[in-house]
Structure 1
């Protein structure tokens, strides 16, 4: 089993949100990545954004967390995503160029988020609702049934 501890950012421009996917994959996710041991989550998010696409952004309000699980081959994977609003000068009229050849970034209308296969699935409703709630979000893609 592998466990992933991640910081993800919601980057909005008007009614669009920035998504990422591995080239050739159908699954999308929010920008961000792994939190290193002893690293604050906001700092990890800002570092990952810059490393992946030279995005200069400020991790702001903590929105909540989403958990997920899946299999890669025979190995069970689990993740916790800490979610933050990100303040940046990006516009959905601009292309975001990846610094990593296996990733691509793109803007999608928030109203169409269901069509983009965003994971964890629980985030889809959060994106459609514009994340306006002051209550912390908790989403789960874990069924509660043992997978082993």
Structure 2
């Protein structure tokens, strides 16, 4: 069973399934995260939705590069969780199926190409509390303890 974080689904509300991939990226006692400015400013695990026809790993490499400007190596799947949420940027209520990986950030290519994103390095011990959503926090706490 995949755990759920945040609010339960609303009765009689239609949710669109949105599978996505996200990464915990430790390096030298710190963790690479992303700050997303819109629609609500928050710190997140780098990652996002899997495009139609795209494999989860290809999406992970793409999303981390777009949101942080870094390439990664050796991704390893560590689990998944679900969230039921409003996604104003898409105008949908979504059941987000979030698959979490741990990987190594290996090469900085430049600034993030995703508008409104900034790469942020946080001390590993502070990373879980910096993250905006409870699913991200739970996985970061487990992987960084």
Tell me the TM-score normalised to structure 1 length.
Answer: 0.69
Does the CA-based 8 Å contact 1:9-1:59 persist in structure 2?
no
Indicate the residue corresponding to 2:72 in structure 1.
57
Indicate the residue corresponding to 1:125 in structure 2.
138
Indicate the residue corresponding to 2:32 in structure 1.
18
Does the CA-based 8 Å contact 1:7-1:45 persist in structure 2?
yes
**Counterparts in 2 of 1:37 and 1:51: CA distance versus 1, 3 Å:** same
Listed as ranges, the gaps of 5+ residues in structure 1 are 133-148
Deviating beyond 3 angstroms after TM superposition, the runs of 4 or more aligned structure 1 residues are 51-54, 72-75
Indicate the residue corresponding to 2:113 in structure 1.
99
SS at match of 1:56: strand
> Greater CA deviation, 30-39 or 70-79?
70-79
Partners of 1:44 and 1:72 lie apart in 2 by 19
SS at match of 2:127: helix
Indicate the residue corresponding to 1:86 in structure 2.
103
Aligned CA-pair RMSD:
2.7
SS at match of 1:51: helix
SS at match of 1:104: strand
Does the CA-based 8 Å contact 2:69-2:113 persist in structure 1?
yes
